[in-house]
Amino acid sequence: MIRNGVITGVRVAHDTATVDEIEAASADDISARIADLLATPGVREAFAIQTCNRAEAYVVTDRADQGRDALAQIADPVRSGGVVTMPHEEGLRHLMRLAAGLESLVLGEDQIIGQLKDAIEIARRAEGLGPILEDALMKAVHVGERARTETAINEGVVSLGSAAVTLADRETDLDGATALILGAGEMGTIAAEAIAETAIDRLLIANRTIPHATHIADTVPTDASAIGLSAAGAAAQRADVVIAATGSPDHVLAAEELASAGETFCIDLAQPRDIDPAADAETGVTIHDIDALETITAETHARREDAAAEVEAMIDEEFERLLALFKRKRADAAISTMYESAERVKDREVGTAMAKLDANAELTETHREVIESLADSLVSQLLAAPTKSLREAAAEDDWTTIQTAMQLFNPEFDGPVPTDDAVDELDVDNADTETSDNDGMAAGSDSETPAGPPESPAGLPDGVDPEEIPQHVLEQLSDN
């Protein structure tokens, strides 16, 4: 069965949406989101990725409208301007840009490629990935790795964690301050390491698993201690700066826990938020989210412009390779199905001929081998020209020819044939949406169709004399 499969994606990210909108579009459990998408009619593959500044999901369906319908649930809580729906090719290109760090709030940051790999593993375990998304995601990871090894896109770049520290250093006095980091994951670790290099006097690292926080505290060049996440409220009472980056589904710091904390500068990088936004109304408490980091990240963006241009060129190159891969696989699927259908016809007709000849007791084992060889040779020779034409049609984005060829050469084909609508959804520029009979015959137009069975069949086994084949066998095969 040939199933083209189109990718449809939806994203709610920092470039178009607010922190609240990203949170509204995020799922509590990515595996559950993938399972829900797979349960949607028409969805064959599904993938989702969520970070502190984006929530994205992708599906593979036979038609793009099915994909848009399946992803509508993610976009529902968000205003229309905050959601970007991506058709097939735009989604493919976006995944490459995402992995390369070009879509990150901090241009070129390294954290995103690790997050993408983690999301891929989650999708695999949830059985969400099939051949189309697997190819697309592996190509994206490849581009991300190339970008970081072949360009300077991540050279000297700050991450969100270090950008938060830069913002804190600009907005408040860190000399002799006590800092509290919520979370000991990758972003929390980066923030802890960055703030330990400033003039703070004391660093507290709160994490659900204390040994992880202890490891960080033991490695940073300042007086640091690890505490449990349950002690974060008490620690916030004596902290001057709080940077939050846990993966908790609930608030880690409630508004009342900061009510008597006095002057406290907070930056919440978590998604969903670690600090209750209501705490911003408390006297002396200031809370910033990732939107406040735009100035810091813009400076990094300016320094990375040349490298970003190199990465864009790399993406153009890899994008064309990916499209070529998809074309080749789609053509191969069509060709394979064509040959399978021909083999079914061949087996049926050869079986019928053998039965009739057996009834006359005139067939020897040699004759059987000759007939089988003849049938194989006929199939191969008759399908050689269509095979060549199908490969050329795929290379030229001529899916109308592939469709018509399948109808001509596979009358018993039992799967959906590529349609003009599906071609349009793939944004194939060269597809002819008004199929004509002449267009359809292009698959075999450069070959001559034999007027009848050959007098002396080609492809006979070595040592077999054509004269040994009974004439009525050839006539029987010709009649069929």
Place of tokens 């896109």: 153
Tell me whether the omega of the peptide bond preceding residue 416 falls within 30 degrees of 0, making it cis. Answer: no
Dist. CA 126–CA 119, nearest whole Å: 10
**Considering Cα of 161, then 193, then 244, then 287, what sign does the dihedral take?**
negative
266 is catalytic: no
Say which of 6, 24, 30, 52 is annotated catalytic. Answer: 52
User: How many helices (DSSP H) and strands (DSSP E) are in the chain?
Assistant: 18, 10
Enter the tokens of residue 351: 């079986």
Whether the CB-CB separation of 477 and 374 falls below 8 Å is answered with yes
Annotate 71-86 with DSSP letters as a single string. Answer: HHHHHTTS-GGG-EEE
How deeply is 5 buried, as exposed, middle or buried, from its count of CB atoms within 10 A (0-12, 13-18, 19+)? buried
Dist. CA 89–CA 388, nearest whole Å: 26
CA angle, corner 191, sides to 189 and 196, nearest 5?
95
179 phi and psi angles, rounded to 5 deg: -115, 145
Whether the CB-CB separation of 256 and 283 falls below 8 Å is answered with no
Dist. CA 136–CA 131, nearest whole Å: 9
Whether the CB-CB separation of 339 and 406 falls below 8 Å is answered with no
Q: Which long-range contacts (CB under 8 A, 24 or more apart) does 76-83 make?
A: 77/21, 77/24, 77/25, 78/12, 78/17, 78/21, 78/24, 78/25, 79/21, 81/16, 82/12, 82/16, 82/17, 82/18, 82/21, 83/10, 83/11, 83/12, 83/16, 83/17, 83/25
Closest by CA position to 21, among listed 12, 29, 33, 30: 12
Q: Which residues participate in catalysis according to the annotation?
A: 52
